[in-house]
Amino acid sequence: MGKSKRIEDAKESGAETLSLVDQGLKSWPSELGELQAVRSLSVARNKLQQLSDAVSDFPPQLEIFTAFDNNLSTVPQCFPQIKNLWSLNLRRATTRLQTSHPGWGCQKLRTLDISCNLIAGLRPNFFFLKIAQLKLLRMLCLRDIELTTLPETIAQLTDLTELFLQGNKHVYLPLALGLCVSLRNPTAKLRLAFYPLHDRYVPKMKEGRLETLLDWLKSSEHEIFLEEEVERMSKKMKN
């Protein structure tokens, strides 16, 4: 079924979910703005280089937007105007994602995935000032973006329960991470991929508990530096 047929069917049926995955899209279909009932939209695995900058070109009730595996150059400025948007997935969506773009101001976002992107001019402190404004954020996925520093502002995300950092070879974890009360939730997840190099931390790694990591961070005098020496640390942990 072609993309035009799918859009027309969704319009006639009042569908709340629309998938335009693998439709060979090269430009944004402006008729998507006519879909009054659609709450979940996926344009993943297409050839999109840009999304519309007009909020009227998006479904007015849009809550969940997925655009992974595209070739976007930026985030639309109109994103903050999509008032109900709470989930945004841009994994592998772009090679030139700009962290200074105003499109990051989606105040209702609860889940954000920008993993596996080469982020142009990534300035962690500036970028996380933007992220820290997303007060309702619960899940943040930053895998494979060449991140080197997790700024102290991460502690401002008081609802954060899932944080994914895999694939970033050199990352500093701030002590403020230990102050994130929400990460102490029994269901909280923190994925690092690499073990801390600090030898005195090895015994605690055996316990494998997120709360242990947060307690250690909170009481530590220095930030933890993570590096790709998994084999060496694994041997230590087995001894």
pLDDT of residue 197: 39
Q: Give the integer Cα–Cα distance in Å for 63 and 189.
A: 23
CATH code for the structural domain at 3-238:
3.80.10.10
* DSSP H helical ranges for the chain: 3-13, 124-131, 202-205, 210-219, 230-238
The domain segmentation of the chain, as residue ranges, is 3-238
| Full-model pTM | 0.82
Mean pLDDT value across residues 162-190? 81
Mean pLDDT value across residues 182-195? 73
Mean pLDDT value across residues 109-136? 78
User: Which string of DSSP letters, residue by residue, matches 96-113?
Assistant: SEETT-GGG--TT-SEEE
Q: What percent of the chain has pLDDT over 70?
A: 71
216-230 pLDDT per residue, tens: 677 665 555 554 434
